[in-house]
Amino acid sequence: MAGAVRDPQQDAPRVRDLPAPRRNRSVAGGTIQRSMAWPYRAILAFLLWTGIRPWQLTLLSLVLNVASGALILSGDWVAAGVVLLFAGLADVFDGSVARQRGTEGRSGAFMDSVLDRVSDMILFSSLFWVLAERGDTTYAALALVTLVVSLLVSHIRAEAEAAGLTLTEGIFQRLERVLALMAGLVIPGAMRPVLVVLAALGGVTVAQRLWSAVRRLA
């Protein structure tokens, strides 16, 4: 009927019909999948209802990571951790929205991966700068080590995919890095042990992926 007003609720996806979060082979992957299944579906349903596009969520994640880096530099670490939470959520849901809309493609995945690396560089460079300025050189160095390790984890996967392999191994991937960094930012005195964990377990993940790739290519 001409002039009829569309009820937006008619187009709203039902939460129970949406998929649970994807599981990855990392420390927190299974726990997150089980414990966050219902909130994940609810948020995804809301985002689909709003009509937001995956690329908008990708850019929002980058902007929020830049804001979190700026807050780290200013010394407001609790606020930086809160902003980082929302940046992480945007990063999780850009791919989810793309899959549900049927718009998932190589260009979107490529840009998402590139901007994830940019975000890592912003966050850990900001952390390095602050710690070095305070004279905390050991932990500033660990921030740089964590940055290098995070880039290596991604680079090994990209090289493996170029060689025809799919690598999902790794006990400490980006999800764990973001969660650990948030904990270090919002819990007083936690950043030093968090950096030790990030550097050590990140190194283990690099070794896991290297071993898996070399063994399967041999």
C-alpha 120/C-alpha 65 separation (Å) is 8
Distances, alpha carbon 91 to alpha carbons 21, 36, 112, 117, 130, in Å: 13, 16, 8, 12, 25
pLDDT tens for 17-37 read: 565 556 666 655 556 666 667
Hey, how many other C-beta atoms are within 10 angstroms of the C-beta on 160? 20
Task: Say how many C-beta atoms besides its own lie within 10 A of residue 202's C-beta.
Answer: 25
176/139 Cα distance (integer angstroms): 19
Catalytic residue among 91, 94, 112, 116: 116
Higher pLDDT, 144 or 19: 144
pTM greater than 0.95: no
Closest CA relative to residue 153, chosen from 107, 120, 110, 194? 120
CA-nearest of 188, 185, 184, 198 to 71 is: 185
Per residue in 32-75, pLDDT (tens digit) is: 666 667 787 888 888 888 889 999 999 999 999 999 999 999 99
pLDDT of residue 10: 44
116 is catalytic: yes
